[in-house]
Chains A and B, each alone.
Chain A
Amino acid sequence: MVLSLGLKPLPRFFESNSPVLKMLAIPAVLLLILVGSALWSGGGVEQRADLTYINRGDVNTLDLNRMSWAQDIRLAYALWEGLYTLDPQTLEPVPGSALPVEISEDKCTYTFRVRPDAKWSNGDPLTVDGFIATWRRQLEYPDEYAGLFHCIAGAKAYQEAFNSADLNVRSTADWSAVGIIKIDARTLRVQLLYPTAYFLSLTAFPSFFPSHEASMEAFKELDPATGRARYDESYTHPPNLVTNGPYLLKEWRFKQKVRVVANPHYWNAASVGLKVIDQIACEDPLAMFLMYQSGAVDWLMQVDSGIAAELLARKDPDLHVFSGFGTYFYSINCQPTFSDGTPNPLADVKVRQALAMSLDKRPVVETVTRTGEATQDTYIPPTIFKDYPSPGGLSLDRDRARQLLAEAGFPGGKGLPRLTLIFNTGSHHGDVAQIASRQWKQELGIEIELQGMELARFRERLNKKEYMIARASWNGDYNDPSTFTDKYRSTSAGNDAGWISKPYDDLLDAAFKEPDAAKRLQILANAEGILNREAPIIPVYGYTTAFLIRPTLKNIPLHPQSLFLYHSIRVESGSKQ
């Protein structure tokens, strides 16, 4: 056979009648492939970094315009710096790459001056062009956070015109009409529609960080048909990525680890404590925990709730549990009919209030989650925003609940169609749902069928409002209550309850225009009060975050937003293992 293929080498071996030799050939070939791939897949031991941590899975994207996952945002704070940045302990906005801002009398004009010593990681001086590049790209190619820019004059109109399907409308998109004005290389003037108290917090958010256009240019692809640009995302891989923050991206091995090293060109390089930081990618909660136990990593940013509950009971000193930045709740379909056309009894506010007021949430946090969560009757966790007067919500009152249900026309639950509650499998949602449905059956006589399904299917049904009651949650993005309240505007894509309330929308609009910060928070609280009372959602508990931190790490703030500035972290010398 071999001869017929025309192969002449090693004829004696192949013609040999020794079966043992022939048999050994198979493992020999396997061994060759093995050694080859072992060498190819990379090996070798590296020097241990100053700080090694696990941030859950791998980084999703380092493109500032597409970034939305918490783990990406955390890393963004290491690599970039905005006009303003966050104070390492209080997370309040403080000047970053810009000098302290000049705000006009009417609080609508912000003039930023970039620090003269601010540079990119390749030595180029930092100019306002970098900021304008990101902001403009977000409006032209809007992603999840495009809405954050709509407080800027002309921004929303520009975004809609540029993205219109109608060519005539597209040609009217005029960048000079947008309130982002370059005065000179280092001076940027921003014109806001209304006084926006939290605008400085926004400039400290990754969507507002600068992009180094020159290095991205090589990766730009223009679609000839539409004229729209796309960036090949290898511009975000080392060594191509140019950033302006305390660290630069040294290495990114997919689903293995990301290594960042101190940026020598950072204007405040002297303040950077840790020079080399590794982020290890690990998805399995047990494997993560074992890596911490064995000393391989110094900090876990996510601890499985079962493990955390166990450690909490044991009072483990390395475990830090603190208030999170979101709420776990049940979303109720408020539309007049269900997706199949049948009338929706849950559209009646009394039915929803009955469900909300008959639910005792304590068993959920005491027996299911067990990591120090507090039950909540409000949509927004009451303590996470400074000076926010939380309005309170519907508290447990079973007699009143039964009364409301009877007033709605369903005394003792009679007359209600069979209701379904959907949730995604794979977490504790099923357990929580069982507690809730059991209570609703016992107290109100309402039959609820539980339907678990896989995540993508669940998300689709929630987004298309093809459900009756669904498990849901919301985590805030930035340090202002509007990150919660905007979700339930009647026009918002995130309003998956289909709840429409003109008084609520009006209050949100009023808050948008209110220049006085305290009055504005009160208006938002009033709006939240309406939402809590009309119960398109039933809040259950507020999330907590659990970290496992080695005692040698200092200066890590335990702030609800669970953000931190890596350059302020210090390692106490000695036991680094």
Chain B
Amino acid sequence: MTKFIAIRLLQFPLILAIIYLVTFLLAWVAPGSPFELSDRSLDPLAKQRLEREFHADSAVSFLAYYPLKILTQGDFGPSLVQKGWSVNKILFTAVPISVTLGMLALAIALAGGVAIGTLAAVKRGGVFDALSLSIGLVGVSLPSFVVAGLLLVVFCVFFKWFPIGGWGTLGHMVLPSVALSLLPMAYIARLTRVSMLDTLGADYVRTARAKGSSRQTVIWKHCLRNAFLPVLSYLGPAAAATLTGSFVVEKVFNIPGLGQHLVNSVLNRDQTMILATVMIYSVFLLAFNLLVDVAYAWVDPRIDVTAKV
């Protein structure tokens, strides 16, 4: 297992380098310039001077300067558009906010999804099952800006329970995380339901019940542990996705997280910012996928991730 983890960790730099290069090329060929976004056009000489100053005048000068800076100083460079801030400073403010929001959303999604899915499986065919399926469908189909907008209007404007937008207190965190959690919650509920149905029908469950174990013990101690694996493998990419923030939820609730930087940097052609946000997302994704693989073996000792056919 140690060897497995070590090999995976060694692959990280290569994967990240490839991602960096591909992202850079795609962003580079996109038409438009980060220095000419307003209705004022820059004098061509001034534009050249700016590009030279930011090492953005040619692909070679960009690649010669910035990757080295990242590797040696951990500095992603200045933002080409947010002129008052370096990328590192921006990320330093945005990442903890998105991580908090994402973790909260994931926690709600996990707790809610597992509970709903288990109950639906146990009371299969009943009212709750049908209800959970339809709510799940709604959760997956409704666009997030509709859900976010609805929550905003109902709970902030009508009931006035929460502040309208922004970030800082616990009150600010509730509604956005609920809005962000609905999609993963729906998925997790479905996954849990299906795999619980599988395990509920297994022989050892009937044996346990026959032995006299209570329903509670059987469900929570025996079944859930086995049924949890598909949810666990979904958790990896889900965590990476929710942690990097949702652009729509952040926009509606006016939260200064990472999601808006992911989108705005592309729209603004902010090369350094695009690369930094994509790198962060990639690191999260790789790290969480590795964690999930390791957790697999830990939750179910029968699984051997290192096995070769």
Contacts and interface: CB of A to CB of B under 8 A. Distances in A.
Contacts of A166: none
B224 A254 contact: no
A61 B167 contact: no
A552 interface: no
Contact of B46 (A27, A142, A472): A142
* Among A33, A63, A236, residue most surrounded by chain B Cβ atoms (within 10 Å): A33
Interface stretch (A124-132, A192-200, A283-291, A568-576): A283-291
A30 interface: yes
Interface of B: 1-2, 30-33, 36-46, 49, 53, 78, 82-86, 89-90, 93-94, 96-97, 99-100, 103-104, 106-107, 110-111, 149, 152, 156-157, 160, 163-170, 173, 220-221, 224-225, 228, 251-254, 256, 260, 267-269, 294-295, 297-299
Contact of A30 (B106, B152, B295): B106
A496 interface: yes
A66 interface: yes
Contact of B84 (A22, A27, A62): A62
B164 A291 contact: yes
B221 A19 contact: yes
B107 A281 contact: no
B49 A290 contact: no
Interface in A228-272: 228, 230, 232-234, 236-237, 253-256
A254 B298 contact: no
Given A40-B96, A254-B93, A283-B260, 18 more contacts: A23-B299, A37-B103, A45-B168, A63-B84, A144-B40, A163-B45, A237-B84, A253-B256, A284-B165, A284-B254, A287-B152, A287-B252, A290-B164, A293-B157, A294-B163, A456-B33, A456-B268, A472-B39
A256 B299 contact: no
Given A4-B1, A456-B32, A283 B157 contact: no
A60 B83 contact: yes
A473 interface: yes
B254 A287 contact: yes
B274 to A, nearest CB: 12
Contact of B37 (A22, A455, A493): A455
A113 B148 CA distance: 57
A90 interface: no
9 contacts: A4-B1, A33-B103, A38-B173, A41-B97, A234-B89, A236-B84, A286-B149, A493-B41, A493-B42
B26 to A, nearest CB: 14
Contact of B170 (A43, A281, A283): A43
A294 B89 contact: no
A23 B40 contact: no
Interface in A467-502: 472-475, 493-494, 496
A325 to B, nearest CB: 13
A143 B295 contact: no
Nearest to A146: B46
Interface string A269-313: 000000000001111101100110110100000000000000000
B37 A37 contact: no
A366 B163 CA distance: 36
A214 interface: no
Contacts of B89: 234, 254
Interface stretch (A100-108, A334-342, A379-387, A457-465): A457-465
A5 interface: yes
State the majority secondary structure of interface residues on B.
helix
Interface in A419-461: 454-457, 459-460
A66 B173 CA distance: 36
Contact of A290 (B84, B96, B156, B256): B156
B191 to A, nearest CB: 15
A31 interface: yes
B251 A284 contact: yes
B41 A474 contact: no
Contacts of B44: 493
A44 interface: yes
A27 B99 CA distance: 15
A290 B154 CA distance: 12
Given A293-B157, A456-B268, A280 B166 contact: yes
A10 interface: no
Contacts of B32: 455-457, 459-460
B41 A30 contact: no
Contact of A61 (B41, B83, B168): B83
A462 B39 CA distance: 9
Given A20-B220, A283-B251, A463 B41 contact: yes
Contacts of A23: 224-225, 228, 299
Nearest to A59: B84
A11 interface: no
Given A27-B110, A63-B83, A256 B166 contact: yes
Contacts of A230: 53
A27 B107 contact: yes
Interface in A137-166: 141-144, 146, 163
A429 B103 CA distance: 40
B298 A463 contact: no
Nearest to B111: A27
B103 A30 contact: yes
A43 B43 contact: no
Contact of A233 (B31, B83, B169, B267): B83
Contacts of B173: 38
A493 B40 CA distance: 9
A34 interface: yes
* Among A34, A68, A473, residue most surrounded by chain B Cβ atoms (within 10 Å): A34
B276 to A, nearest CB: 14
A510 to B, nearest CB: 24
Contacts of B84: 59-63, 233, 236-237
Contacts of A68: 38, 40
Given A290-B164, A296-B164, A255 B93 contact: yes
Contacts of B97: 37, 41
A143 B97 CA distance: 34
A294 B156 contact: yes
A295 B83 CA distance: 32
Nearest to A6: B2
A215 B68 CA distance: 30
A287 B164 contact: yes
Contacts of B267: 454-456
